[in-house]
Chain A
Amino acid sequence: MNLPDAKIPPGPIEKKWQTWLDQHRLVGPNNRSDSKVIVIGTGLAGASAAASLAAQGFRVESFCFQDSSRRAHSIAAQGGINAAKDYANEGDSVRRLFHDTMKGGDFRSREANVWRLAELSENIIDQAVAQGVPFNREYGGQLATRSFGGVLVQRTFYSRGQTGQQLLLGAYSALQHQVASGNAVVHDRHEMLDLVLVDGQARGVIVRNLVTGEIERHAADAVILASGGYTNVYYLSTNAMGSNVTAAWRAHRHGALMANPCYTQIHPTCIPQSGEYQSKLTLMSESLRNDGRVWVPRKPGDDRAPTDIPDQERYYYLEERYPAFGNLAPRDIASRAAKVVCDDGLGVGGTGRGVYLDFRDAIAERGHDVIEGRYGNLFEMYENITGDNPYETPMMIYPAPHYAMGGLWVDYELQTTIPGLFAIGEANFSDHGANRLGASALMQTLADGYFIAPHTVAHYLTGDREPVSTSDSAFEQAEDAVESHITRLMDVDGTTAAQVFHREMGNVMLDNCGMARNAEGLERALTEIRAIKRDFWSDLRVDPGRDEFNQSLEYANRVSDFLELGELMCVDALRREESCGGHFREEHQTPDGEALRDDDRFAKVTAWEYRGEQGDPVPHDEPLTFENVKLATRSYK
């Protein structure tokens, strides 16, 4: 197969989206209820798309594996959401937000998509405020903004340290409003296990009712995957326990290409791991770097209490290495810098894998109350988890897997390589290139869900389709495939829980396909993952009973897909012989240890085609062209 056209409208970049909007086909209000759209996932992208399509008059069926559509992991986003409103009167603009996002992504994203994202950013804030999202306000009642990493303006809007929660509850309440109005149905505790294709078009899904175990068929005219990212492939990450790649991976197996799977973000400020049975890592918002200073002792093995170490013996490595951006260096750079100082033996904490984030100076300068106003809930959360009080002693932090820039390949209309299958939010690869800037995930999910997919999906729905019924053979075959996969998982009947294999794979991935990668390590990881996969299929045990509530079956099913994804990530990382953003190949670095791109060979997106469990995945390249930014070495010094 060839990679389809990305369908980028002609004309100057400022006009592309309007051009598209002016020309797309419309469905008349009276005909909209003839079409049904399935939305998988109820995070920011899924809930906003489902609510918007239902409000337009399409019939929407929405699915989530959680017990309520209010719990998707968007809820845990803390720091904020970017928008080019220039409320701080700093000369911010759509072009600057566009430029920062392109540069932040190390010039590995599509210009047209990123411009549209920047353009829509302002509408998102307006929409959220209209839904009652209580963004922080200044004394005159105007919306407040702050800075985030990788930029020199204050364009991040926030609700304390719970911005994701407030935005998600806004989208959730809009969706519940549509449920009450009869336009949308939400199926909670339902997990998508397969996509159904009829005549090459996405026409439905097979889901498992997680309460009864029943396998259900649902038909539709289009399917939207808003199923989130896959960083739980590392086992320990900032994602929720249930975050998984299954919906996206099953679509991939049916022919949706997976783009840039090796682009993952390791977030610099997380609470370090403390024990073997730890189940997840907790993020401490990047916004803390507005006031916190990052440092390690200059002397290796210095075991004095941090408050006893005088200034001249502290290495403020971000401020020294990147004087222009200092503690607000972008995530990939800040994470790698933390890894380097820890590799050099300067790390702190029991494991030596930690650095300090210190608020002493900010508290002295601005006062306890100002700092509490800005970060109170984050400080409290840190104290709850670690037992240490950040007002008195520095926080200890270390990078942790956080976000997947890679995902399903989509064109400008957010449609995958399967007609009628759309991917939005973190599930697609679209806008962040090789590194996402802070507060841009919320912006992208809501741009996709409120303002892009409702139009592009409607446009698709004007096309020709035959009516389908869930008794069609395509549904029967898909259901059989799901049943036999479940049988295969249950029949192993070994003695080891799925989380044991997941943990082993996570360690392999983090060591070899994490913050730094090299050819030898990636080759080794491939061998090790294949061995873990063999063990998984020979010694897995899940609880008996498929026609009932069975969490161990849910988990094992997700791990079976992570094992396949892990391999593809390593294959992709091996092929990309350059360093860019979060993908740092040790063979390709500048003399001072910064990422070294190879624009001649790799200014492109790599989208992988699935060729069966035994076959090798096939890469397809989409060249990236740059007409509105100058390709430059990314510098934050």
Chain B
Amino acid sequence: MKFKLEIWRQFETGEEGHFETFEVDGIDPEASFLEMLDQLNERLTGEKRRTVAFDSDCREGICGSCSLVIDDTPHGPRQVTSCQTYMRDFEDGSTIRVEPFRSTSFPVIRDLVTDRGALDRVIQAGGYTGATTGPQPEPNSMPVAPEVQERAMDAAICIGCGACVAACPNGSAMLFTGAKVTHLNLLPQGQPERANRAIAMVDQMDQEGFGGCTNFGECSRVCPQEISLDVIGMLNREYRRGRLGKRPKDPPAMRAQ
């Protein structure tokens, strides 16, 4: 197969970027989108031209590293991660536009690579239980109904890729944050910090510059883990619940890393 690619090139953070056009030929329809870019890079190296920078690691849809906007859609046409998008899903000879995830909270580092450290800082604000390493209670002494475990798991499977943010017209991270709050607040182990968790994480989201949710629903539509909008409802409820309860302490100060 062959394709014309319009790829976002940007040398460093803050620099003005532009699209550069490349043509690729002899692409196996079974190649993944990232393998097609590998092949382009191998050729560019031979031509002594600068390769295209993009993030990827596991290449099986679970680590959350890959983060391309393909033809205006985060990750591409099939609601799977960029690494699980295959060339067989594109029309032979077509033009494909490739950009980084777009969000003011995800500055571009180079080309298609962004800094998503803001998501780690949201987790630091409250995305954990307080259990430190040491003797813990026997798990079966605290049974969890399978329906509850299933609901928690449906949220816990978030891979932290940030496609939800890139898809949202407001650049909101509510789906990401809602997934973590839902996972932990549903389980008995997450109860001690429950009142503070949603408030602290939402405050951190605001500090990072993520926008608010106005129910577009684009986040869930591009989420490769198909996380439901329900988690945003849960986040809103937990936030109100926290606010109505005891006023929580201020969250610990976050450091950029």
Cα of A177 to Cα of B130 in the assembled complex, Å: 8
Q: Is there a chain A Cβ closer than 8 Å to B50's Cβ?
A: yes
Q: Is B124 a contact partner of A179 (Cβ separation < 8 A)?
A: yes
For residues 52 through 75 of chain B, which have their beta carbon under 8 Å from a beta carbon of chain A? 53, 55-65
Considering only CB atoms and an 8 Å cut-off, how many residues of chain A contact the other chain? Answer: 84
A-B contact number at CB 8 A: 233
Q: Which residue of A lies closest to B47 (CB)?
A: A495
> Does B170 belong to the interface (CB within 8 Å)?
no
Point out the residue from A241, A282, A549 that lies within 8 Å of B56, measured CB to CB: A241
Q: Complex Cα distance A126/B115, Å?
A: 35
B133 touches A277 (CB 8 A): no
Q: Does A634 contact B (CB under 8 A)?
A: no
Assess the B60–A280 pair: CB atoms within 8 A. Answer: yes
Given contacts A166-B156, A180-B252, A381-B60, contact A450 B133 (CB under 8 A): yes
Total interface residues in chain B, CB < 8 Å: 79
Q: Quick one: CB contact mask for B102-117 with A, threshold 8 Å, 1 for yes?
A: 0000000110010111
Q: Is the CB of B120 within 8 A of A176?
A: yes
Please provide the chain B residues from 11 to 33 with a CB less than 8 Å away from any CB of chain A in the complex: 12, 28, 30-32
Query: Which residue of the partner chain B has the closest CB to A72?
Result: B63
Residue A496 CB within 8 A of the other chain: yes
Structural contact, A282 and B60, CB atoms closer than 8 A: yes
Contact A131-B35, Cβ < 8 Å, known A496-B45, A549-B53? no
Q: Are A142 and B59 in contact (CB under 8 A)?
A: no
- Whether B116 contacts A68 by the Cβ 8 Å rule is yes
Residue in B38, B46, B50, B131 whose Cβ sees the most chain A Cβ within 10 Å: B131
Give per-residue flags for A512-553: 1 if the beta carbon is below 8 A from chain B beta carbons, else 0. 000000000000000000000000000001011000110110
B160 within 8 A of A: yes
Contact with A along B144-168 (1 / 0, CB 8 A): 1110010011001101100000000
Q: Which of A126, A132, A141, A280 contacts B135 (CB 8 A)?
A: A126
Which parts of A225-249 form the interface with B (CB within 8 Å)? 240-242
Cβ of B172 to closest chain A Cβ, rounded Å: 19
Residues of A within 8 A of B84 (CB): 381, 384-385
CA A139 to CA B50, docked complex, whole Å:
57
Query: Is B234's beta carbon under 8 Å from chain A?
Result: no
CB contacts (< 8 Å) of B65 on chain A: these are: 66-67, 71
> Does A174 count as interface, using CB distance less than 8 angstroms?
yes
* B80-113 at interface with A (beta carbon < 8 Å): 80, 84, 86, 88, 109-110, 113
Query: How long is the Cα–Cα vector from A228 to B9 in the complex, in angstroms?
Result: 33
On whether the beta carbons of B149 and A134 are closer than 8 Å, the reply is yes
CB distance from A170 to the nearest CB of B (A): 9
A68–B119 CB distance below 8 A: yes
User: What is the chain A residue whose CB lies nearest that of B43?
Assistant: A497
- Complex CA–CA separation, A87 to B139 (angstroms): 11
B45, B58, B62, B257: the one within 8 Å of A186 (CB): B257
B229 at the interface (CB under 8 A from A): no
- Given A211-B109, A552-B45, A140 and B143 contact (CB-CB distance below 8 Å): yes
**Distance A229 CA – B187 CA, assembled complex (angstroms):** 34
Q: Report the Cα distance A160→B152, complex, angstroms.
A: 12
Known: A132-B190, A142-B140, A274-B30. A381 touches B61 (CB 8 A): yes
Our pick among B115, B132, B152, B190 for the contact of A67 (Cβ within 8 Å) is B115
Is A275's CB within 8 Å of the partner chain B? yes
Q: In the assembled complex, how far is the CB of residue A68 from the closest CB belonging to chain B, in whole angstroms?
A: 5
- Nearest-CB residue, chain A, relative to B59: A280
Specify the chain B residue showing the minimal Cβ separation from A160: B153
A279 on the B face (CB < 8 A): yes
B254 contacts across to A, CB distance below 8 A: 180
CB distance from B117 to the nearest CB of A (A): 7
Q: Which residues of B contact A70 (CB under 8 A)?
A: 64, 120, 123, 160
A residues within 8 A CB of B160?
68, 70-71
Kindly list the 6 A-B residue pairs having the minimum CB-CB distance in the complex, ordered from nearest: A141-B143, A173-B128, A130-B131, A497-B45, A55-B132, A126-B136
Could you show 5 A-B contacts with beta carbons less than 8 Å apart?
Answer: A130-B136, A131-B189, A134-B144, A177-B124, A275-B28
List chain A positions with a Cβ less than 8 A from chain B: 48, 51-52, 55, 66-73, 75-76, 87, 123, 125-127, 129-132, 134-143, 159-160, 162, 165-166, 169, 172-174, 176-177, 179-182, 185-188, 211, 240-242, 274-280, 282-283, 381, 384-385, 387, 450-451, 454, 495-497, 499-500, 541, 543-544, 548-549, 551-552
Residues of chain B at the chain A interface (Cβ within 8 Å): 12, 28, 30-32, 34-35, 38-39, 41-42, 45-46, 48, 50-51, 53, 55-65, 78, 80, 84, 86, 88, 109-110, 113, 115-117, 119-120, 123-125, 127-140, 142-146, 149, 152-153, 156-157, 159-160, 183-184, 187, 189-190, 252, 254-255, 257
15 more contacts with CB within 8 A, not counting A76-B62, A132-B156, are A70-B123, A130-B136, A132-B128, A134-B144, A137-B149, A141-B144, A142-B143, A176-B124, A180-B254, A186-B120, A211-B109, A450-B133, A496-B45, A496-B46, A549-B110
